[in-house]
Structure 1
Amino acid sequence: MNLKKYTDFSLRVLILAGMKTEQELTTIKEISTVYHISQEHLRKVVHNLTKLGLIESIRGRHGGLRLAKPAEEINIGQLVRTLEDDFVLLECFDKETNHCVISPACTLKHALNQALMAFFQVLDTYTLKDLIHNEQALRKLMGI
């Protein structure tokens, strides 16, 4: 399973924004510089995170971005479910397109489904706050 770059970028935006105070806003330019991601990609990500109510955009000369809710209220499992739209790990996960002849007797799909559920059970135990608990080390690596 591979998460989309869009999900990866969204998580990175939230991590950086989560390390800032309300007075210490971040910007798309800063995020782009820190992570070496194009500003155009980030604009789309930030727009979506704003629509989801996770990021607040402050306009004006001293504007920027900040979290729209506390980091401990942003659940990582729920966020990944929201951002990802395809958890079809095998053909047999999609009943409409499944043509696998062994599907009725195959236990692989059950094993992978259990693994997928375990993946989300683990992610559900994490919040954004958990991802930034080592803020000093992250700041050093980011150069901020």
Structure 2
Amino acid sequence: MNLTSFTDYGLRMLMRMASAPGQAFSTADLAEEFELSRNHLTKIMQRLAQGGIVETRRGVNGGAVLRSNPAKIRLGDVVRLLEQGQALVECFGPAAGGCTIEGCCRLKSRLRQAEARFIEDLNRSTLADIALPQHATA
């Protein structure tokens, strides 16, 4: 399984935010800290806000803050949100009509089960479990 960079970067941002849950983080600061594109992180932050993981605030003291305690944010839910629209295999995607073995394929159901178990396993951990240590976030 290969998670997208969108999810990878989103998890990094959330790990940082979980290290100081009450603090607001700008995408500019996060982009500088992780040496990533601010534009890309802005799109990720928008998805996290739409999914109810973060709240964004405008203005001088603006930025994004976690909407919940990091111990209540389950990793599988975050990955599901960030991977939304990314098919595990081509036949799971919206243009799956080109499969020549549709109807007799026994792999598809097993892959769906594996994908569900992956998310379930991740949901045994929370953002608090993977928060960056305080000394790494100076």
TM-score by length of 1: 0.75
Quick one: distance in 1 between partners of 2:24 and 2:77?
25
Greater relative CO, 1 or 2 (CA 8 Å, sep 6+): 2
- Asked if the contact 1:16/1:26 (under 8 Å) is kept, the reply is no
Change (3 A) 1:114 1:46: closer
Match of 2:14 in 1: 14
Percent of residue pairs bearing the same amino acid type: 29
Number of aligned residue pairs? 135
5+ long unaligned stretches in structure 1:
none
TM-score by length of 2: 0.78
Cα-to-partner distance string for 1:41-96 (whole Å, 9 max, x where unaligned): 111111221122211223222322211111122111122222222333364x5763
Change (3 A) 1:48 1:118: closer
Quick one: distance in 2 between partners of 1:90 and 1:21?
38
Match of 1:98 in 2: 99
Answer with 1 or 2: which has the greater Rg.
Answer: 1
Cα-to-partner distance string for 1:99-137 (whole Å, 9 max, x where unaligned): 138x73x665555444333322211211111111x623x
Match of 2:133 in 1: 135
What RMSD over aligned residues (CA atoms) do the two structures have, in Å?
A: 2.5
